Amino acid sequence: MATGPPPLRGIKVVEFAGLAPGPFAGLLLADAGATVLRIDRPPADVVSPPAQDMLTRHKASVAVDIKSPRGAALIRELVARDVDVLIDPFRPGVLEKAGLGPDVLLERNPRLIYGRLTGFRRDGRYRDMAGHDINYLAVSGALGLLGREADTPHPPANLLADFAGGGATLFQAILLALLSRQTTGRGQVVEANMVDGASYLATFPRLLLKTPLGSRGRGRNLLDGGCPYYDTYATKDGKYMSVGALEPPFFDALVNGLGLGGRGWEHRRYDPDEWPELRRAFVDAFRRKTRTEWELVFDGTDACCLPVLDYHELETDPAREGDQRPAVTLRKTPCLAIKRLGHDAPGDPATYGQGPGVEGDGYTGAALAPGDGAEAVLASWLGWTRGREYVVSGGAFALNKAAPRL
């Protein structure tokens, strides 16, 4: 089946370098075919690598001193000339101070989608405070749902606030604004914050708090580790199996596979007072075999019992589903490929994505040095050339004051 270009081909994005959430939003846009130009600080101003950013697939970089009048002027001219999306990852006021706030840039480019991402709400009590994923989760209420009953709340690395509630939510908001622009012809300011993003993601468990399915307290409910048939268990070799046998046929297949059938658990499992005993039975059973042995027992069944895999296994074992693909499959206009496919590999673009893939196959990140690819992007977007419209000094790009009026 013939495929067309990726869905965001032709969309031009300016992404100011920042920590993980902003670059992740840019990565999602780039993987969908947008051209993303990251704005880095000049090399002389960089104490450490640019935000240690590994989320660089399909992006280019230009180093600009936005505190310099000519540096800020370059950004204004760049954005004014048909840039579609800008990603602002800074605290409120940083870009405004440089003369790059939404009022200025939207006046020059009314079709611009000006995406702003913060940790806390811009109008909330924590707006002027520093924070990280764990803090945004904490004040959103989501962190209070996570963890074992007898332990402190545990954040899931920095996945839930930074990436899901932050970067992915901003990506969604940008797409909505692009869709709205199709009707109105105008861009707008788009604001996302990780507190509201994480809270929105927690809609279902939050609503469960007022029902019998979620009212027993953290770590004591059906879906949060309190229920023995929705949990993980150590195997004989120190690895783990996951269990999610909620429905009766699935539970029957699980207990029969574990050798625990015929003991009445099929009827007693609904009583939380029986859960501690059932958990002990599961713990003892899983410890009798290795994870591989349990896989042989449950593969092909509906027991909802599957191995807990780590990324090293996924990367190195061809039998596992570890080939990295775009997050979604668009049959007519696939996103860009992540994994590199050999000439003899099944390369259906709709499944694996378009193009040659990237170095590292989605397992090893590649740093993007300030200035990498900038000249090609500026030439492609605007027809600009070095020495005419802009100059480069010490690695920093700036508007050429001697250039013809732009």
Kindly list the domain boundaries of the chain, sorted by start residue: 12-203+355-399, 231-314
The reported pLDDT for the residue numbered 344 is 52
The reported pLDDT for the residue numbered 2 is 79
Q: For residues 63-100, b (16+ Cβ closer than 10 Å) or e, as one string?
A: bbbbeeebbbbbbbbbbeeebbbbbbbbeeeebeebeb
Size of the chain in residues: 406
Region 204-208 average pLDDT: 96
* Catalytic residue status for 123: no
Confidence of residue 45 (pLDDT cuts 50, 70, 90): low
CATH superfamily placement of domain 12-203+355-399: Crotonobetainyl-coa:carnitine coa-transferase; domain 1 (3.40.50.10540)
- In this predicted model, what pLDDT tens digit does every residue of 91-143 receive, in sequence order? 889 999 999 999 999 999 999 999 999 999 999 998 989 999 999 999 999 99
Q: Are 232 and 245 in contact (CB under 8 A)?
A: no
Percent of the chain residues past pLDDT 90, beyond the cut: 89
Region 320-341 average pLDDT: 94
pTM of the full structure: 0.94
Q: Are 5 and 32 in contact (CB under 8 A)?
A: no
Q: Are 29 and 8 in contact (CB under 8 A)?
A: yes
Residue 14 has pLDDT above 50, yes or no: yes
Q: How much is the mean pLDDT over the chain?
A: 93
Specify the CATH number of the domain 231-314: 3.30.1540.10
DSSP states along 301-357? SSS-EEE---HHHHHH-TTSS-----SS--SSS--B--S---TTS---HHHH-BSS-
Q: Of 133, 162, 224, 372, which residue is the catalytic one?
A: 162
- In this predicted model, what pLDDT tens digit does every residue of 265-275 receive, in sequence order? 999 999 999 99
Ranking 6-10, 17-21, 23-27, 399-403 by mean pLDDT, the lowest is 399-403
Confidence of residue 50 (pLDDT cuts 50, 70, 90): very low
Region 33-44 average pLDDT: 93
Residue 3 has pLDDT above 90, yes or no: no
